[in-house]
């Protein structure tokens, strides 16, 4: 925990959390006379039958804990308004006792927030008595409108890395960056609101933002998202209303509404950048800079160090049994790479579909594509392989397509889905949250967003001065980078799309004009490799560039692959960049089409 946080907690009472039945209750253990409070009691609790309110418990050290109650206002006030209150408590054997809970009001959300507007009012007290590892009884005495009472409580979720009964010096070390980000976070320019984060399952992060609306009433926002490295994305943020405190509470009338999206990029263990975009006009969009206010007892945070550029090496995998293809659509699904269509010669294109397993270096030919395609766009999502668009080049004439195809590896079958909003090829596809984004290629100034669950497309306008055929499209820090590309000539410019705010901005230009290359993140570094710097005939490149966030520029380094290549697929597996297939000659007829697999990785010093 950061030093001297007790005073801060008394001011930043902002941490209520409830996971709307997203996690099953932990299996209960036999009841005991008492259960001494320990670090593993950190988590979220509710009263059975009262789904929609609850308590957050954070054990900070052996003697101190934080409890926040997130609920609604009493019936004699405005109906269905959210409320949250709590404070620092002392630990006495099986009990956490909060003598001085506070409730806040007065501030307004976003740019209107002024810390001087926050009014902190004493609310009362409450006490938690743990009967076993998963629950017990709580007692409270609040403001007259809230009254007093006794309630049972049961655990909804715990924290990854905090098992019961394991001494602190025997706890397993967390994965880098996980779950050490769990705890409380605040932007000190917004004293009076903030965030609570809990990693409740490996790579699953629950976030609660405790703030105000545009008229000074308390609000708590809830979301569950994926924590990938140092980026957490929450695209299902909810806000609730519809019931009242106490005996008037009715879980069946709790109304959970969509609020918007939030992305958090952790720059280190104690600092982050949060970007939000609400679908509700009174909240709008913006960016804040949270810093850590506390850590949970017995949890450490350690982000993986960036790969040493002096240790970036390449190798070629012996791959005699693989197909020789170029301009294929290639994507990762699970522990395998899938290769769809492409050319074995200049034309015609093929409908072949292959799976490559890097763990065993084996290739398997699968069910053919519904039709031959080249320069298609592919991505893996939720156990399925998706192929979008591409070109049908059966003769010297090539026709772009708008098809959407889904492949199920369990049944080895294809399914035709709703076409894209336009004919698109030579681009890339990125999964962020529950959506697939198709960017780059022959269509400028738009990104297609696909929702697999609904089989629906949306066109998102963007600002980009280039048609980026054969651009490298990559996800970095929760955003989509569209690098290089071109039609009659290549560009070294970069466009960055933020899927939360749906805005674009220019990125740092690369050193070389490049298309038909690959880009990925390995060792925490954004890498751009191989490709071509002219259209016809292609001049094959074998230069690697690495993005430096401190200088916001690209560094050209001496870490080439074994062989320069264009039109290959670049995919990451076990923090290594695999470069599959492609062509090593740009002459008409694709004279040197490869069946090779190359690997770029940070070797151990």
pLDDT per position as a tens digit, 364-390: 999 999 999 999 999 999 999 999 999
Q: Average pLDDT for residues 94-122, to the nearest whole number?
A: 95
| Least trusted range by pLDDT, from 292-296, 455-459, 478-482 | 292-296
Q: Does some domain include residue 303?
A: no
Of 295, 323, 344, which closes a domain?
Answer: 295
Regarding predicted confidence, which is higher, 26 or 86?
86
Q: What are phi and psi of 138, to 5 degrees?
A: -120, 145
Q: Using one digit for the tens of pLDDT, what is the confidence trace for 192-230?
A: 999 999 888 888 999 999 999 999 999 999 999 988 878
**Together in a domain, 199 and 237:** yes
H or E element at residue 78: none
Q: Which residues contact 181 (CB under 8 A, 6 or more apart)?
A: 197, 199, 205, 227, 232, 266, 269, 301
Residues comprising the chain, all counted: 605
CA 574 to chain centre: 18
Would you state the structure tokens that stand for residue 590, as one six-digit string?
């694709």
Q: Does some domain include residue 235?
A: yes
Instruction: Determine what percent of the chain is predicted with pLDDT higher than 90.
Output: 66
**Together in a domain, 507 and 444:** yes
Q: Using one digit for the tens of pLDDT, what is the confidence trace for 262-285?
A: 999 998 889 999 999 999 999 999
**Together in a domain, 526 and 593:** yes
Q: What is the pLDDT of residue 34?
A: 62
Residue 349 sits in a domain of what CATH number?
A: 2.120.10.80
**Together in a domain, 287 and 333:** no
Instruction: Determine what percent of the chain is predicted with pLDDT higher than 70.
Output: 88
pLDDT category of residue 304 using cuts at 50, 70 and 90: confident
**Together in a domain, 504 and 558:** yes
For residues 298 and 163, give the distance between their C-alpha atoms in angstroms, rounded to a whole number. Answer: 10
Q: Is the pLDDT of residue 124 over 50?
A: yes
**Together in a domain, 176 and 315:** no
User: Which three-class secondary structure state does DSSP give residue 500?
Assistant: coil
Taking Cα atoms as reference points, which of 293, 363, 282 lies closest to residue 328?
Answer: 363
CA 353 to chain centre: 30
Q: Is 395 exposed, middle or buried (0-12, 13-18, 19+ CB in 10 A)?
A: exposed
Of 264, 295, 326, which closes a domain?
Answer: 295
Would you state the structure tokens that stand for residue 62, as one six-digit string?
């052996």
DSSP state of 308: P
Q: Does some domain include residue 401?
A: yes
**Together in a domain, 272 and 314:** no
**Together in a domain, 198 and 277:** yes
What's the chain's Rg over C-alpha atoms? 27
Q: Does some domain include residue 353?
A: yes
Residue-averaged pLDDT of the chain: 87
Euclidean distance between the first and the last CA atom of the chain, given in angstroms as a whole number: 33
Q: Average pLDDT for residues 565-578, to the nearest whole number?
A: 93
Looking only at the bridges linking them, the beta strands covering 479-483 and 384-388 are unpaired
Domain that holds residue 121: 6-295
């Amino acid at each position: 925990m950061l030093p001297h946080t007790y005073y801060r907690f008394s001011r930043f009472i902002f941490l209520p959390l409830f996971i709307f039945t997203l996690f099953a209750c932990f299996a209960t253990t036999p009841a005991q006379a008492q259960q001494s409070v320990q670090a593993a009691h950190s988590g979220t609790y509710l009263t059975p039958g009262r789904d929609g309110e609850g308590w957050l418990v954070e054990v900070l050290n052996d003697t101190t804990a934080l409890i926040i109650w997130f609920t609604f206002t009493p019936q004699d006030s405005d109906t269905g308004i959210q409320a949250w209150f709590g404070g620092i408590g002392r630990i006495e054997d099986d009990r956490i006792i909060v003598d001085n809970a506070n409730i806040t009001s007065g501030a307004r959300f976003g740019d209107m927030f002024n810390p001087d507007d926050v009014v902190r009012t004493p609310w009362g007290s409450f006490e938690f008595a743990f009967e076993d590892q998963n629950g017990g009884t709580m007692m409270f005495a609040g403001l007259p409108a809230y009254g007093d009472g006794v309630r049972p409580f049961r655990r909804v979720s715990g924290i990854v890395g905090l098992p019961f009964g394991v001494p602190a010096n025997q706890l397993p070390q967390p994965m880098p960056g996980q779950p050490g980000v769990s705890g409380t976070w605040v932007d000190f320019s917004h004293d009076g609101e903030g965030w609570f984060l809990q990693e409740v399952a490996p790579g699953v992060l629950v976030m609660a933002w405790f703030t105000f609306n545009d008229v000074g009433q308390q609000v708590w926002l809830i979301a569950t998202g994926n924590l990938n490295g140092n980026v957490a994305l929450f695209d299902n943020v909810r806000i609730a209303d519809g019931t009242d405190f106490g005996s008037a509470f009715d879980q069946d009338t709790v109304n959970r509404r969509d609020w918007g999206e939030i992305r958090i990029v952790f720059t280190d263990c104690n600092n982050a950048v949060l970007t939000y975009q609400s679908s509700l006009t009174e909240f709008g969009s913006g960016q804040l800079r949270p810093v850590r206010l506390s850590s949970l007892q017995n949890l450490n945070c350690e982000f993986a160090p960036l790969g040493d550029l002096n240790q970036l090496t390449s190798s070629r995998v012996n791959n005699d049994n693989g197909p020789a293809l170029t301009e294929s659509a290639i994507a990762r699904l699970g522990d395998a790479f899938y290769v769809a269509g492409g050319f074995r010669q200049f034309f015609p294109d093929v409908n072949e579909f292959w799976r490559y397993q890097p763990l065993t270096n084996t290739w398997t030919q699968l069910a053919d594509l519904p039709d031959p395609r080249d320069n298609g766009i592919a991505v893996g999502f939720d156990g399925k392989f998706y192929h979008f668009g591409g070109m049908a080049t059966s003769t010297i004439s090539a026709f772009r397509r708008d098809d959407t195809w889904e492949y199920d590896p369990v049944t080895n079958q294809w399914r035709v889905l709703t076409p894209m909003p336009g004919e698109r090829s030579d681009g890339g596809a990125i999964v962020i949250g529950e959506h697939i984004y198709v960017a780059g290629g022959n269509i400028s100034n738009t990104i297609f967003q696909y929702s697999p669950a609904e089989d629906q497309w949306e066109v998102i306008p963007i600002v980009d001065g280039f048609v980026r055929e054969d651009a490298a499209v990559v996800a970095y820090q929760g955003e989509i980078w569209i690098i290089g590309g071109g039609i009659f000539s290549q560009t070294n410019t970069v466009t960055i799309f933020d899927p939360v705010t749906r805005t674009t901005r220019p990125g740092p230009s690369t050193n070389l004009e490049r298309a038909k290359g690959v880009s990925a993140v390995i060792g925490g570094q954004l890498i751009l490799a191989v490709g071509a710097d002219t259209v016809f005939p292609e001049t094959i490149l074998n230069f690697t560039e690495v993005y430096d966030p401190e200088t916001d520029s690209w560094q050209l380094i001496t870490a080439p692959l074994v062989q320069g290549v264009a039109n290959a697929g670049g995919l990451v597996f076990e923090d290594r960049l695999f470069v599959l297939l492609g062509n090593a000659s740009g002459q008409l007829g694709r004279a040197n089409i490869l069946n090779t697999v190359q690997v770029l990785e940070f070797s151990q010093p």
